[in-house]
Structure 1
């Protein structure tokens, strides 16, 4: 019984940055689940875009510029780690989670 529970958990794919673009206008319309797109100009990271892990088909766009608030820090890209938590209220639904070491940790 325990092995049946562990098998799907082991197959979970870790979130990662799959692509880097130079402009927010270059973001793809759809970003595959478990992947994120980084908007960066040289070494300056500007935005991180991904589909919300709630699978409710809305996109998340995080500001990575430390001089504009609120902002997040991209700690690692493969596997993805973002700090602090992402807390989004959209259409009466709240999505609040951490992305640590490529895994979603719902709060």
Structure 2
């Protein structure tokens, strides 16, 4: 029963985000650290960032906030490619540096700062919005 309710909640969150054209005032409220991919849940919670690697953080995974169900995988360890950094503020809210730019269909480009999603203008890369 818990699994059915969890899947229903994830479906409602995704539907809401799709209805808002992928620009909902989404929040990602916490970071969950797991040792490896076997520690991941069957379906990722759309309000969490999952960090793989108990001692050395290697990857960050999150359900894309556009609501279309694709998973974003960010490399936290490889110095030869783009490398992201996940930080947590005093309230436990995650930030990801630099921006996340998924170039598949649909293109999703946004910043995650203090648990809030800030979308880039469609179709082009832009400087980070001012606070």
Same fold (TM over 0.5): yes
The bucket for the TM-score relative to the shorter chain is: 0.7 to 0.9
1:41 counterpart SS class: coil
Residues 59-95 of structure 1 deviation map (CA, whole Å, 9 limit, x = unaligned)? 111111152412101122620100000001113x210
Cα distance in structure 2, aligned partners of 1:13 and 1:45: 25
Structure 1 length-normalised TM: 0.76
Aligned to 1:21: 34
1:51-70 aligned within 5 A: 51-70=63-82
Q: Label 1:53 to 1:14 Cα distance change in 2 as closer, same or farther (>3 A).
A: closer
RMSD over aligned Cα atoms: 1.9
CA contact (8 A) 2:31 2:93 kept: no
Structural mapping, 1:63-102, within 5 Å: 63-76=75-88, 78-91=92-105, 93-102=106-115
Distance 1:97 1:65 in 2: 21
Q: CA deviation at 1:13?
A: 7.2
CA offset digits 1:14-56 (Å, max 9, x no partner): 42334211113432221112111111232x1111111000000
TM-score, normalised relative to structure 2:
0.64
**What is the count of residue pairs matched by the alignment?**
94
Distance (whole Å) between structure 2 residues aligned to residue 73 and residue 104 of structure 1: 16
